[in-house]
Amino acid sequence: MIDSRIIKFFRKHHVLTIATSVNNNPWCANCFYVYLEEENSLVFTSGGDTRHGQEFELNNIVAGTVVLETMILGKIRGIQFQGIVSEPIGESLSKAKRAYLLRFPCCSLNGYQVMVSKTYKYKDD
């Protein structure tokens, strides 16, 4: 079971940093996301022409962070996670798109793939 503080933190924020690695060459990208609690998944978009989008195809195991920005040293909070990225299909894709567009109604999904990171390890610092 996921700690309720982690769920609350994921819901409160909307930008994640996702890290990929191929041939021992790491890369990070920032993406808007929405958290699907029932699936324990982070939904975000990626273009096939982006480096991280191409690297998901070669190695779908990722790491990432969601962080609270603050200038107060003692208030720095964040979640570090590991996950497996995939492109949802069928009803999972429909649900992911609905949730993403509800959270970000100004975004267009044209030309972008909806991706899901099934998260399986967390650390709350």
pLDDT digits (tens, 9 = 90+) for 76-110: 888 999 999 999 999 999 999 999 999 998 887 77
Say what the pLDDT of residue 120 is.
63
Nearest to 113 by CA among 48, 35, 54, 50: 48
Say what the pLDDT of residue 122 is.
65
Token pair for 19? 């890290």
With beta carbons less than 8 A apart as the criterion, state whether 115 and 40 touch.
no
Q: Indicate the pTM of the whole model.
A: 0.89
Task: Cite the DSSP H helix spans in the chain.
Answer: 4-12, 51-58, 90-103
The dihedral over CA atoms of 67, 16, 117, 84, expressed in degrees to the nearest 10, equals -80
Distances, alpha carbon 53 to alpha carbons 1, 45, 66, 117, in Å: 30, 9, 19, 13
Say what the pLDDT of residue 1 is.
74
Say what the pLDDT of residue 113 is.
80
Per-residue pLDDT of the chain (125 residues; tens, 9 = 90+): 788 888 999 999 999 999 999 999 999 999 999 999 998 899 999 888 899 999 999 999 999 999 988 899 888 888 999 999 999 999 999 999 999 999 998 887 776 788 888 766 666 65
Say what the pLDDT of residue 73 is.
84
Helix H or strand E segment including 32: strand 25-36
What is the distance of C-alpha 105 from the center of its chain? 18
